[in-house]
Amino acid sequence: MAQTALITGSYGGLGTCFANIHAKTGGDLILVGRSQAKLDAQAQEMREKYGVNVETIAADLSKADDVQHIYETCRDNGWLPDYLINNAGFGGQGDFARERTMEQDLSMIAVNIEAPTRMLKLFLPDMIERGSGKILNVSSTAATMPGPLQAVYYATKSYVTSWSNALWRELAGTGVTVTCLMPGAMRTGFADAGASQTPACSPMRSTPRRSPRTVTTGCSRASSM
Ligand SMILES: NC(=O)c1ccc[n+]([C@@H]2O[C@H](COP(=O)([O-])OP(=O)(O)OC[C@H]3O[C@@H](n4cnc5c(N)ncnc54)[C@H](OP(=O)(O)O)[C@@H]3O)[C@@H](O)[C@H]2O)c1
């Protein structure tokens, strides 16, 4: 029976790689993102390319109600994700106290920390009851150090790594695993998403970036998590 992967931020740079990796081996998909038009286009491409079943859920992960909506849509339709990839996230540059607004940083915390936390609060109990499930949380090498001028972004990724490691231990013996991916800089939409706050001289612009396909090379499919 085909395994189903739910991927947040599915049409972004890394999300697209995850979707292709999983669908290539016949896995079904639940694609989650803000734009229904982009989700529809991606779903059509995946169906045509790989012949897999694809569902879509439009949701703004900065909103708690939208995260609840993702869970309820899956539950009500009997869509059981075998893999859940908390991939959506964004960054942004600027002096914490003098440049970045309250709204910018709290919205980042909502998407990078609160949304994945809510997702697992909702989905994990069902996975534990089924005795199977694989979680992939996307962190960053940013988690390993403080990030002046990206203070909140680096801190959000520290949370994701620390939280994932603790959950991995708590879930031992349940049949459910948690894996944390910590990529370095990649060429995706990420820099553009934070570009309005990114000075031309910033490290975000000058750091060499790898293709997200390079980062996911070695994962023949999501089930290798
Ligand atoms: N690129 C890097 O250098 C790098 C390095 C280390 C870790 N990462 C992490 O990798 C993950 C994927 O990022 P990426 O590099 O693939 O960047 P990306 O191309 O910008 O993709 C990010 C995805 O997240 C979605 N997203 C952002 N805010 C959202 C919201 N409020 N609700 C729902 N979806 C939202 C975006 O959708 P929209 O287009 O609709 O906003 C997009 O699909 C992120 O967690 C990022 O922190 C990236």
Q: What CATH number corresponds to the domain at position 27? A: 3.40.50.720
Domain boundaries, position 109 = 4-224
Average pLDDT, integer, range 112-138: 98
- Supply the pTM of this predicted model: 0.92
Whether 71 sits among the annotated catalytic residues: the reply is no
Closest atom of ligand 1 relative to the 192 alpha carbon: 20
Ligand 1 contact, 66 CB (< 6 A): no
Contact at 8 Å (CB) between 90 and 39? Answer: no
Give the pLDDT band of residue 200 (cuts 50, 70, 90).
very low
Residue from 83, 153, 154, 159 carrying the catalytic annotation? 153
Which residues, at least 6 apart from 77, have a Cβ–Cβ distance to it below 8 Å?
55
Ligand 1 contact, 34 CB (< 6 A): yes
Domain count within the chain: 1
What percentage of residues in the chain have a pLDDT greater than 90? 84
Which residues, at least 6 apart from 217, have a Cβ–Cβ distance to it below 8 Å?
none
| Torsion angles phi and psi, residue 176, rounded to 5 | -110, 135
Centroid of chain to Cα 38: 16
